[in-house]
Amino acid sequence: METLYARLKEPFGLTDWVLQKPDLCFVTVAREQLRPLLLHLRDLEGFTHLVLLTAVDWIEEDRFQLTYLLHDRAKARDIGVRLMLPREDASMDSIHELWPTAATYQRELREMFGIDFPGSPRVNEDFILEGWADLPPYRRDFDTLQYAHEAYAERAGRETRDPARHMKEQLYPDGGQDD
């Protein structure tokens, strides 16, 4: 994996390399280098299997992280390619021509995170949430608890406990030390 990174670092401007375990590493790439990098990995390095494509919302840093995880079966190794996008009007180039299955991932990201992939097949069709008009729900600023309070009636007699405080009361009825 180290030699792979050493070879690709300069041509594709890779940064933030992390060797998570001997057969899995993560790198960050700039937007304009993503497609050449994925093509290179797929066609020349043996990473032919797109394992997953997903997003992480780093709301404090005002950006989304897209993760393209690729697998090389012959050498039994994986590479996670990270790409950072600004959260505002997030939009990314589609890769459905490289892997047809990417269209499904992109359709889900469009619905759940609001990240657009212009040109991706059926990207604007409802995927899981039919008729959803609220904020894309997998964004960190979508509050599931508030949504549940507003959308559903509370069952009478239901009690909600903070697990840490509840366990402390069970284990130390006389008080005990603070956290």
Partner 1 sequence: MTEYSNRSQYPQARADGSLDIDLTSGKYLKLWQGPNHPGITGNMSVELTVCGDEVVEGKTHVGYLHRGFEKLMERRTFIQCFPIVCRICVPEPDFNEYCYAAAVEELAGIEVPEKADWIRTLILEMGRINSYLMYLGGQAGAFGLGVIGQWTTYARDLMLDRFEELTGARIYHMFIMPGGVRDDLPEGFDQRMEETLQEIESTLQDVYDTMFRNAVFKKRAVGLGYVDPAWVDEYGITGPVARGAGVAKDVRRDQPYLVYDRLDFEPVIATESDTYARADVRRRDLLMSVDLIRQILARMPRQGEVMATLPNVLHWKIPRGETYVRGECSRGEYGYYLVTDGSGYPRRVNVRGPSYTHAMTLLEKLIVNVNISNVAGLMVSLHTYPPEIER
Residues that bind partner 1 (CB under 8 A): 18, 20-21, 23-24, 26, 48-52, 54-57, 67, 69, 73, 76, 78, 80, 99-101, 103-104, 121, 126-130, 137-138, 140, 142, 144-145, 163-164, 167-168, 179
CA–CA dist 75, 109 (Å, integer) = 30
Q: CB of residue 140 vs partner 1: minimum separation in angstroms? A: 8
State the DSSP H helix or E strand holding residue 82, giving kind and residue range, or none if neither.
strand 77-86
Q: Which two tokens stand for residue 143?
A: 């509050």
Max Cα–Cα distance, the chain, nearest Å: 66
User: In Å, how far are 34, 87, 88, 120, 149 from 64, measured between CA atoms?
Assistant: 15, 6, 9, 19, 27
Minimum distance from CB of 124 to partner 1 (Å)? 13
Among residues 5 and 142, whose Cβ is nearest to partner 1? 142
As measured in angstroms, the least distance from the Cβ of 121 to partner 1 is: 7
Least distance from C-beta 179 to partner 1, angstroms? 7
Nearer to partner 1, 30 or 51 (CB): 51
C-beta of residue 140 within 8 angstroms of C-beta of residue 59: yes
Two structure tokens written together for 135: 């904020």
Residue placing its CB nearer to partner 1 in the complex, 31 or 97: 97
In the complex with partner 1, the residue whose CB is nearer, 8 or 53, is: 53
Nearest to 87 by CA among 64, 68, 110: 64
The rounded distance, in Å, linking the Cα atoms of 26 and 15 is 9
Q: How far is the CB of 119 from partner 1 (least distance, A)?
A: 10
Q: Which is nearer to partner 1, 34 or 55 (CB)?
A: 55
Contact 165, 179 (CB under 8 A): no
